[in-house]
Structure 1
Amino acid sequence: MAVYQVLFHVSDNETWPKAVTNIENFLKDVGPSGATIEVVANAAAVMTYYNQEKAELLERMQQLAAIGVKFTACRNALRAHQLDEQAKPDFVEVVPGGITEIVAKQAAGYLYIKP
């Protein structure tokens, strides 16, 4: 069982590189089985999931997803930015509302980090 439950919140595109590096470094310290990690992207941050110019960053996200990090996108933000939910990367799960997801995870005991 994971020692930590951690929720990373990303709401702008500029924060993504720092957030991904934070997650990678955290997992180096605790190991992949040492944490359950979810990343909630809302507001403008959802656009990075669709930005092919960020291929290297998306590859790092996909590698993290492959070892159990959950990446989510706020459906409200996808709609606000006119992004096709069906065109998102396979490793991204859509949640109805990013803020609602954050509140639910915090209520479930997740530690909140906003890089």
Structure 2
Amino acid sequence: MSYSIVFHVDLFDDTRLGLALTNIDNYLNALSGKEFETVMVVNGPAVQLFKADGGAHAEQITRLQQRGVSFRLCANALRKFDIAEAALVPGCAVVPAGIVEIVELQQKGFAYVKP
């Protein structure tokens, strides 16, 4: 059984992002000792929550990165909201299209969660 998982966040909603980050933390704790990948794909207005200079969750994102979580932000959404890659929380990756990233991860067997 694969425990690899992709969390999808697309709304500009601080509470929902906080819930997703807590879900990830709980997931990692529950599966301690198992090998799997954890990814959060962020597209749409939610990319605005990942700015390094104002994101309420920057510290929690950094802590989760240190635990191996990958944060992948949609380049299309970053362009739409005029956010430069350099303005993001360090360590976040930019992918060409968030929705394509989700499809590719699901085809690799990742479970999909949208809090």
Same-fold status (TM-score > 0.5): yes
- Matched with 1:41 is 42
Aligned to 2:62: 62
Q: State the identity %.
A: 35
Across the aligned residues of Structure 1 and Structure 2, the Cα RMSD in angstroms comes to 1.7
Q: How does 1:1-12 map to 2 (within 5 A)?
A: 3-12=2-11
> Structure 1 length as normaliser, TM-score?
0.90
Matches within 5 A, 1:78-97: 78-97=78-97
C-alpha displacement of 1:6? 0.2
Equivalent pair of 2:6/2:110 in contact (CA under 8 Å): yes
Contact 1:32–1:68 (Cα < 8 Å) also in 2: no
User: TM-score of the superposition, structure 2-length normalised?
Assistant: 0.90
CA shift digits 1:42-97 (9 cap, x unpaired): 00110011163434x11011000011000010000000001112222221000000
Equivalence for 1:21? 22
Query: Whole-Å Cα distance in 2 between the matches of residues 69 and 22 of structure 1?
Result: 12
Seen in structure 2, the aligned counterparts of structure 1 residues 87 and 32 have a Cα distance that, compared at 3 Å, is farther
Deviations 1:6-62 (A, max 9, x none): 00000013220010010011111112644310000000110011163434x110110
Higher-helix-fraction structure: 1
**Count of residue correspondences:** 113
Structure 2 unpaired stretches of 5+: none
More strand, by proportion? 1
Name the SS of the counterpart of 2:28 in structure 1.
helix
Cα distance in 2 between the residues matched to 1:74 and 1:82: 12
Query: Which consecutive residues of structure 1, in runs of 5 or more, have no partner in the other structure?
Result: none
